[in-house]
Amino acid sequence: MKFKGTKNFKVSELEYSDTARRYNIDNTIPDEFEYNTMRLLTFLQDLRDKWGSGIIITSGYRCQLLNKVVKGSKTSAHTTCNAVDIYPVNGKFEEFKEFILKYLEGKSWDQCIIERSGKSQWIHLGLYNNSEKQRRHIFKIIK
């Protein structure tokens, strides 16, 4: 892959996974998803620029094996580098959530899922689903 990232986000951040390391899974993004990778990181860069503070990618690309291991949806946009889970570096999650909801107004995207599991919270942003559709779905998942 020729594309290495944007000013604040690297392709390696999308590929990194503690689970992949633990199970010795190669989670390198295939060249066929280079355009999706560029599109996703460019979107994140604009989001970060407007937010004005750092954003942590907690889950990016997932190869099919990794997606299976983490029990992701078979149709997960993570498997085509069309989705990312993020969290604000400054820890101001409620403020970040509200910012994102306003940021998405008037933009094209597929899913914004505000998720919580135990004490962990994150936002899943999907730009496209695996059929290249943008449904503009917003919902919450609390486990």
- Tell me, yes or no, whether 94 lies in a domain: yes
State the Cα–Cα distance between residues 143 and 93, nearest whole angstrom: 17
Partners of residue 59 on adjacent β-strands: 85
- Tell me, yes or no, whether 4 lies in a domain: no
- Tell me, yes or no, whether 137 lies in a domain: yes
Cα end-to-end span (Å), the chain = 36
- Tell me, yes or no, whether 79 lies in a domain: yes
User: pLDDT by residue (tens digit) across 113-129?
Assistant: 999 988 999 999 999 99
User: Quick check: pTM over 0.85?
Assistant: yes
Domain of residue 130: give its range: 11-142
User: pLDDT by residue (tens digit) across 59-115?
Assistant: 999 999 999 999 999 999 999 999 999 999 999 999 999 999 999 999 999 999 999
> Strands of 83-88's sheet, edge to edge?
55-59, 83-88, 120-126, 111-117, 137-142
CATH number, domain with residue 61: 3.30.1380.10
Q: Specify the number of domains making up the chain.
A: 1
- Tell me, yes or no, whether 5 lies in a domain: no
